[in-house]
Structure 1
Amino acid sequence: MKKNHSYGCGSSDKCPPLPKCDTAKSHTHFCDVGTPENTGGVEQTIILGDVPIQTLTEADIYLPSYATEIKQIRKNVYLTQCKAVPVIPEGFPETAPTSVKLYVEGYIHKNIQYVDDCEGYVKDYGVNVPFKCYSLVNTLPEIDWEFSNKNSNSNEIRELAKNGMGADRCSFGSFTFEFLNEPIKCKLLNASVTQMDILSDFDKWGRFDKITEKAEVNLLVRLTQRQLANGGGDQ
Structure 2
Amino acid sequence: MSVIKPEQVTPACPVISTEQIPLTVEPTTIISQAAVPTIKVPVVLVEPTLQIVVEANIPLNPPATEIKRVVKNVFLNQVKLVPVAFTRIGTTDFFNVTRAKLFVGGFIRKNIEYASAACTGALLDTIADVPFTGFADITTFLTRPIIGISEASKAFFLNETDGQVPRLDKNFFQNLVKYNEQPFGELVAANFYELDFSPVIATPEGTFNSLTEKIVLDLTVKVLQTQQLLIAATQQIAIPPAGTVGCEE
1:158 counterpart (156, 159, 163): 156
Gaps of 5+ in 2: 1-35, 235-249
- Equivalent-residue separation in structure 1 for 2:230 and 2:191 (angstroms): 39
Q: Of 34, 53, 71, which residue of structure 2 is paired with 1:56? A: 53
Shift of 1:85: 1.6
How many residue pairs are counted as aligned between the two chains?
191
Kindly state the Cα deviation for residue 196 of structure 1 after the two structures are TM-superposed.
0.2
Counterpart contact for 2:37–2:233, Cα < 8 Å:
no
The higher radius of gyration belongs to 2
Q: Deviations over 1:19-39 (max 9, x none)?
A: xxxxxxxxxxxxxxxxxxxx9
2:74 — aligned with what? Answer: 77
In 2: Cα distance, 1:65 partner to 1:202 partner: 17
Q: Trace 1:128-147 onto structure 2 (pairs within 5 A).
A: 128-140=129-141, 141-147=143-149
Which one-letter code corresponds to 1:82 in the other structure? V
- Partner of 1:58: helix, strand, or coil? strand
Q: Is the 8 A contact 1:69 1:116 kept in 2?
A: yes
Identity of aligned residues (%): 28
Following superposition, the deviation at residue 129 of structure 1 comes to 0.7
Report the Cα distance in structure 2 between the residues aligned to 1:229 and 1:199, rounded to whole angstroms: 55
Letter in 2 for 1:178: V
Match of 1:67 in 2: 64
CA–CA separation in structure 1 for the residues paired with 2:80 and 2:57:
28
> Structure 1 residues 233, 101: closer, same or farther in 2, change over 3 A?
farther
Please, which moves more after superposition, 75-84 or 91-100? 91-100
Counterpart in the other structure of 1:44:
41
Partner residue of 1:209?
Answer: 209
1:127 is matched with which residue?
Answer: 128
Q: Which moved more, 1:186-195 or 1:132-141?
A: 132-141
Q: Distance in 2 between matches of 1:135 and 1:184?
A: 15
Q: CA RMSD in A?
A: 2.3
Query: Are positions 1:102 and 2:64 aligned together?
Result: no
Q: CA deviation at 1:189?
A: 0.9
Unaligned runs of 5+ in 1: 1-38
Q: Matches of 2:167 and 2:69 in 1, distance apart?
A: 77
Quick one: distance in 2 between partners of 1:218 and 1:128?
17
More strand by share: 2
Paired residue type of 2:177: E
More divergent stretch after superposition (195-204 vs 219-228): 195-204
> Which residue identity is paired with 1:195?
E
